[in-house]
Amino acid sequence: MSEIQRESGSFRDPASFVFYHEGRVFRCVDEETWSCLNDMTKAGLLSRMIEGGLVVATEGSAGGDIPADIQSILPPGTRCLRHRKIQQISYPYEWSFSMLADAALLHLDIQRMLIEKGLALKDASAFNVLFEGCQPVFIDLGSIERPARSDIWFAYGQFCRMFLYPLLAKLHRGMDFRQVFMGSLDGLQVDQAYRMLGFWKSFAPGSFLDVFMQNLFAGKKVGQATQVGQSLRVEGKTDPAVQLVNLNRLQRKIEGLKKSFRVGSMWSEYGDIRNYSDQAIDEKKRVVREILNQYRPRSVLDVGCNTGEFSFMAAEAGASVMAVDYDHDAVEALYRTAKRKKMNILPLVADLSNPSPGLGLFCEERQPLLNRVGGEMVFALALIHHLMVTACMPLEAISRLFAQLTETWLVLEYIDPQDGMFRELLAIRKDYFSGFSIEKLEAGLSDHFGVVSRHPLPGGLRTLLVLKKK
Amino acid sequence: MILAYIDPGSGALILQLLMAGIVGAGVYFRRAIARIFGFRKKKPEDQPRADSDE
């Protein structure tokens, strides 16, 4: 009898939790939530959401699928659902601007559809969304309830903390999501948002209601919360039209923020391109295409994806791609393009020499990055010099990192220290690398990798290596 | 009556209650104005009809 494994991040809500059994994903919900979901199913709303790609595919496993040992340990009256398993797990601190904005818009779409049926989302956590390629998908069906009143949204405060304030802080103050969400899994607090934006930006029409006014009323006096709580109890029906006005307003605002965010710094990365002759670029593309055709990997991780050129190639060759880069704007530009072209690429902002660790309760609630990214094949193109010089990683560490990231193949571009790209990084640094050579590289990787083939590029200073994990 | 298992933020709640009041009043006034003026403006050729009070 195989083990059931409870999802370590799913514990806050007493009404629902997620567990795994034999590679399948189940969610337990209490009677109330089950009845809400039932109503949704009867009204055809749940299937509409699933077919529209808003919500993860779900079946009500009433009886049937659930192992008997699980049934016996669950409290009586607990119902189970089965979710389709989403392979790519990413967190808000790895998303780019438009990704967080799209996750926010998804919440608003779902909430709008729910309030028509007298239901609502009880929370608005950015961690309730996973990206499949460029498509945000809502996964927390346990969050659906029948609210006490429908003219206000109880999760609106959390929606602001998780989505609106971080977007404003990134747009106006350049504060990365990583800094926000790794510091606090609940997002940016209203007083922090107000202080970060300052009086004038908070008072501006775009932020007046959500930042300035909310901060004004934020409960600082003892007993205020109780008073508010008492005034919330209401007799009779409340009008969802009021809430709809607010949701539409929020949607317009977030769409506006998306338009306002301009990608900038990515163009400076093009400095690398300057060092390639047209011949060399064409040859490099040809070789990568050949490698993809030969090995046909199911999944590819493109490390240091930059403009995403090779991620596109891998996606076109049929692989499911994760593309990681340290530069936020490069990831943002890649997301916008990949989304428009509907490509199977999940772009993420991450520093693989400082990856996110386990976070939250017992450091298990959110999994470390290195457990979640990887692929059958890893691309490390135009990257080695950054790892060695900028990140100061020794070869043993580089070898170990790639061994952890890849299942089998590694396509790595060797760059000679004489090459322009390398020399540019060394311009004001002490030169430890004059002795570096392709032989040294292969030797440094030999504890984890064996070389399968070498493809020198025109110019004599760069070579693509195909390596296989031992 | 359990209202929220996450922190709803009293600022967010108060703001929404205020908005509910204002929007609710706005909806009431819009309906009242529509009743007085709306029918005449849209269909000038029709006879003004007596409104049925709701």
A14, A228, A243 ranked by CB distance to B10: nearest: A228
CA gap A379, A377 in Å, rounded = 7
Token pair belonging to A258: 């998306």
B7, B11, B17 ranked by CB distance to A152: nearest: B17
pLDDT beyond 90 at B24: no
B6, B16, B19 ranked by CB distance to A158: nearest: B6
Token pair belonging to A144: 């659906």
Closest-CA residue of B relative to A247 is B16
Contact A100, A92 (CB under 8 A): yes
What 8-state DSSP symbol labels residue A289?
Answer: H
Which pLDDT score, from 0 to 100, does residue A1 have?
A: 45
Which pLDDT score, from 0 to 100, does residue B1 have?
A: 41
Token pair belonging to A176: 């990365």
Rounded to the nearest angstrom, the minimum Cα separation between A211 and chain B is 10
Which SS3 state, helix, strand or coil, does residue A214 take?
helix
A12, A123, A218 ranked by CB distance to B10: nearest: A218
Which pLDDT score, from 0 to 100, does residue A204 have?
A: 85
pLDDT beyond 50 at B50: no
Contact A176, A170 (CB under 8 A): yes
Which pLDDT score, from 0 to 100, does residue B53 have?
A: 44
- The CB density around residue A357, as the number of other CB atoms within 10 Å, is 12
Which pLDDT score, from 0 to 100, does residue A272 have?
A: 56
Of A40, A68, A33, nearest to A54 by C-alpha is A40
- CA dihedral (A380, A382, A387, A391) positive or negative: negative
Of A176, A188, A102, A125, nearest to A351 by C-alpha is A176
Of A264, A248, A3, nearest to A105 by C-alpha is A248
Amino acid in position A60? G
Q: Which of residues 25-44 of B touch A (CB under 8 A)?
A: 27
Contact A162, A124 (CB under 8 A): yes
B1, B12, B20 ranked by CB distance to A157: nearest: B12
Residues of B in contact with A155 (CB under 8 A): 4, 6, 8
Q: Domain extents for chain A?
A: 5-83, 92-260, 267-469
Contact A79, A16 (CB under 8 A): no
| pLDDT class of B22 with cuts at 50, 70, 90 | confident
Residues of B in contact with A153 (CB under 8 A): 16
- Inter-CA distances, A147 with A47, A154, B3, B15, Å: 22, 8, 7, 18
ipTM exceeding 0.95?
A: no
pLDDT averaged over consecutive 10-residue blocks of chain A (470 residues)?
A: 77 84 86 91 94 90 61 73 92 98 98 95 96 96 92 94 97 95 94 92 87 84 64 75 93 96 67 69 95 97 94 96 95 96 97 94 94 97 92 95 97 93 82 88 96 94 95
Residues of B in contact with A207 (CB under 8 A): none
B14, B24, B27 ranked by CB distance to A217: nearest: B14
**CB within 8 Å: A232 and B13:** yes
Which pLDDT score, from 0 to 100, does residue A273 have?
A: 57
CATH level 2 (architecture), domain A267-469 = 3-Layer(aba) Sandwich (3.40)
Which pLDDT score, from 0 to 100, does residue A444 have?
A: 95
CB-based contact, B22 to chain A, within 8 Å = no
Which pLDDT score, from 0 to 100, does residue A265 have?
A: 60
| Cα atoms in the Cβ-side hemisphere of radius 13 Å centred on B50 | 2
| pTM across the whole model | 0.90
Of A95, A119, A158, nearest to A41 by C-alpha is A119
**CB within 8 Å: B10 and A219:** yes
Rounded to the nearest angstrom, the minimum Cα separation between A458 and chain B is 59
Q: Which residues of A touch B (CB under 8 A)?
A: 12-15, 122-123, 125, 148, 151-158, 160-161, 186, 190, 209, 213-219, 224-225, 228-229, 231-233, 238-239, 241-243, 245-246
- The CB density around residue A401, as the number of other CB atoms within 10 Å, is 20
Closest-CA residue of A relative to B3 is A148
**CB within 8 Å: A12 and B5:** yes
- The CB density around residue B31, as the number of other CB atoms within 10 Å, is 12
What 8-state DSSP symbol labels residue A387?
Answer: I
**CB within 8 Å: B7 and A157:** yes
Cβ-based burial of A51 (10 A; exposed 0-12, middle 13-18, buried ≥19): exposed
Higher-pLDDT residue of B36 and B52 is: B36
Q: For chain B, what is the mean pLDDT?
A: 69
Which pLDDT score, from 0 to 100, does residue A103 have?
A: 98
Token pair belonging to B51: 């409104």
Rounded to the nearest angstrom, the minimum Cα separation between B45 and chain A is 33
Of A193, A210, A203, nearest to A246 by C-alpha is A210
Residues of A in contact with B17 (CB under 8 A): 152, 231-232
